[in-house]
Amino acid sequence: MTPLESRTRRQLLQLIGAGAAIWSLPRSAWSQPRLHQNPFTLGVASGSPTHDSVVLWTRLHTSQSSLPGVSDGPGHAAVPVRWELAHDEQFSRLVQSGQSLASRELAHSVHVEVAGLDADRWYFYRFKVGDFVSPVGRTRTVPRPEAQVARLRLAYASCQKWEDGYFTAWRHMREESLDLVLFLGDYIYEYPALTSRVRVPSGGWVLTLDDYRQRYALYKGEADLQAMHAACPWLLTWDDHEVQNDYAGLQAGHSSAADPSAASQFLARRAAAYQAWYEHMPVRASALTQGLAGLATGAELRIYSRLSYGQLASLYLLDGRQYKDPQTCTPGGGVGSGMVNPADCPPWNDAARSLLGRAQERWLYDEFSKPHAHESGWNVLGQPTLFGQRDLKPGPGQTLWNDGWDGYPAARTRLTDALRQHAVANLVILGGDVHENWVGHVKADYADPNSASVGVEFCGTSISSRSGGNAKTAQRLAENPHFVFADALRKGYGVVEFTKAQLTTTLRVVDDVTRQDTKIETLARFTVQAGRPVVERA
C-alpha cells in the first residue's frame, strides 16, 4: 500500500465511521471486481482547486443499478479505483497516480484530493476500474496568492430543473474557454413526476438517501452536463431544492400537501440530502466537519470558503440555506416563502435574524478585514440568490419576497456596512435562484436611492428552470432604479472576464430550452472599471 493509498484509506475511515465493515477485511478483499458494464456512466468532475491541489471525482454507476456484475458480498463493500493525473491528454507524461476506494456507504463515489501540484497549470485526469476507463477530464490549479495574474475567465450558473428543459446551455458553455465554473444552487429539484414541458422524472417526492442518489444520477447522466464538468474545475454552493423548496436551516420548507415529509422528519431528510450532495460533488472530505454521522444530528456540511486567484481576485463562496433563520410573515402563517408588505410585518427588520448565520457572517467580515480584501483586484461573492432590493409593487408601498435577501434587511445592511467599514475593493456579487437576469449596483442603503454604491451585482438566469416572462420587467426596473438591466424570459448563464483594469460580463442565452439543438447568443454585455462601482452597457 502506497503512502497516498494509506492516507486515502484513513480519510475514508474517518468519513464513514470506524464501525464500517470494510475495514475488518484483508486488503486482498479489495481486489478488482469483474464488471460487465461501464461503471463511469455519470462522468467525471473536478473542483475545490487551490494553487497546489484539486479534487477529482467520479461515482461508479451503470444504467441498471449501482454496480451490476459486482458481488454484493462484503468483499466488494469497497471497490478499488485507479486514478491518473497527467500533463497531456494521452497520459504519456504522468504526474501522479494512485488508488482510491469507492465505498458502498458513499454510493461508490470517489473524491481524490491530489496535492503537491504546480500552481496555475492545467492537467488531465481519468479513472480506471478493471478494463473500463473513464472519460478524460481537464482540470487546473489556480495561481499562487501572491502571483500577478493577467486574466480570470469564469462562468456562473444555477437552477437546472430537468423537466423544464434540456441542458444544452452546458454544451455551449464548453466553448467559452473558462478557467472555472461557479455553480450557485438548485443542482437538482426534489419534485415528483408532475406536468412537464419536456420530460418527466420517474418516482415520487425525493425524500430518502436512495431517492436523492437516484435523482442525482438522473441529472448527471446528461451528456452536456458531464462534458462541462470534465472541461474545468467547479466551485459549488447550494440553494433549497437540493433538499426541499424553501427550507431554512433546520426548519422544513414547503413543497406540496402531497409531500408526506413531516416537519418532525426533516432533519433526517436534510441529512440524506446533504450526504447525497457530497457524494455527487467534487468537494473536499473536510466539508463534512463531523463525518457522515454528524449530519444526522445537525452538524454542518461546510461550504463557505475563500479562494485567491493570485492578486487578481478573491472568490468567496457562501451558503445561504444551511444556517438561515426561518422566513417571517409568510401569508397564511405557513412555512416557506411568500410576498410580504414589510409595513405589516413587525419582525421584518429584526436585527437578530440572519440569512448566512452568525458564524458565517463573522467569518466573512473577518475575511473582509484582512489585507487581501483591499489588495486583491476584485472581491467576488458567489451566493445563491438576488442581493439587491426588488420591490414588486408598483407605486407607493412595497411588496417584497421574504425568502431572499429582501426578507433579511438587517442582515443585508450588516454586510454592506462591513464592506464600507473595511473598504473592500471592487466588490462583485454573483447570484442565481430567481431564474432571471438582473444587473445592478449594490447600495449602501436600499431605502435611500441616493446612497453610495459599494459594488455591483450580476444575478443570473437559470440553465433550464422556468420563469414568468417579461410582461412586468420594465415596471419593476422603474421601481428599483439601482438595477440597470433585467430579463425574465431567456435561459442560459453568465461569463465574467476579470483583468486588472476592468471586468466584462456577458449574458449568454439559448433560443429555446425545449429544443436539444437550440442555439446560443449574447443577450447583453456589461463592463465595470476597477475602482469605480458602476455598471456600463458595453
> How many CB atoms are closer than 10 A to CB 27?
10
pLDDT value of residue 74 = 34
Contact 331, 368 (CB under 8 A): no
Nearest to 180 by CA among 441, 495, 419: 495
The pLDDT tens digits of the residues spanning 364-399 come to 999 999 999 987 799 999 999 999 999 999 999 999
- DSSP structure string for 214-229: HHHHHHHT-HHHHHHH
Contact 527, 504 (CB under 8 A): yes
Average pLDDT over every residue of 59-70:
64
Contact 181, 481 (CB under 8 A): no
Provide the residue type at 290 as one letter: Q
The pLDDT tens digits of the residues spanning 427-462 come to 999 999 999 999 999 999 998 989 999 999 999 999
Q: What's the distance, CA 395 to chain centroid? A: 36
The residues pairing with 124 across neighbouring beta strands, listed in sequence order, are 86, 138
Question: What are the residues whose beta carbons fall under 8 Å from the beta carbon of 500, sequence distance 6 or more?
Answer: 150, 312, 377, 530
Percent of the chain's residues with pLDDT above 90: 83
Q: What is the DSSP letter of 308?
A: E
Tell me the C-alpha distance between 466 and 489, whole Å: 8
Contact 446, 482 (CB under 8 A): yes
Average pLDDT over every residue of 131-149:
98
DSSP H stretches of helix in 424-504? 473-479
Average pLDDT over every residue of 50-79:
71
Tell me the C-alpha distance between 114 and 98, whole Å: 10
Q: How far is CA 418 from CA 27, 282, 370, 518, in A?
A: 53, 31, 12, 43
pLDDT value of residue 5 = 53
pLDDT at 1 over 90: no
Q: What is the DSSP letter of 427?
A: E
Question: What are the residues whose beta carbons fall under 8 Å from the beta carbon of 362, sequence distance 6 or more?
Answer: none
pLDDT value of residue 21 = 37
Give the cell for residue 466: 422556468
CB burial class (10 A; 0-12, 13-18, 19+) of residue 91?
middle
pLDDT value of residue 75 = 39
The pLDDT tens digits of the residues spanning 14-62 come to 665 433 333 334 454 455 667 789 999 999 999 999 999 999 999 999 7
pLDDT value of residue 260 = 52
What's the per-residue H, E or C state across 148-197? Answer: CCCCEEEEEECCCCHHHCCCHHHHHHHHHCCCEEEECCCCCCCCCCCCCC
Nearest to 115 by CA among 15, 11, 4, 5: 4
Tell me the C-alpha distance between 522 and 195, whole Å: 30
> How many CB atoms are closer than 10 A to CB 202?
9
Contact 482, 386 (CB under 8 A): no
Average pLDDT over every residue of 53-76:
67
The pTM of the full predicted model, rounded to 2 decimals, is 0.94
Please give the residue that has the higher pLDDT: either 509 or 23. 509
Give the cell for residue 260: 408526506
Strand-pair category, 44-47 with 54-59? antiparallel
Nearest to 41 by CA among 233, 278, 222, 281: 222
- DSSP structure string for 485-524: EEESS-EEEEEEEE-SSEEEEEEEEES-TT-TT--EEEEE
Average pLDDT over every residue of 158-176:
97
pLDDT at 243 over 90: yes
pLDDT at 417 over 90: yes
pLDDT value of residue 213 = 97
Which CATH number does the domain 142-537 belong to among 3.40.50.2300, 3.60.21.70, 3.40.50.300, 2.60.40.3080?
Answer: 3.60.21.70
The pLDDT tens digits of the residues spanning 299-347 come to 999 999 999 999 999 999 999 999 999 999 999 888 899 999 999 999 9
pLDDT value of residue 468 = 87
Give the cell for residue 424: 473592500
Contact 419, 454 (CB under 8 A): yes
Percent of the chain's residues with pLDDT above 70: 89
The secondary element (H helix, E strand) that includes residue 457 is strand 453-459
Tell me the C-alpha distance between 393 and 371, whole Å: 42
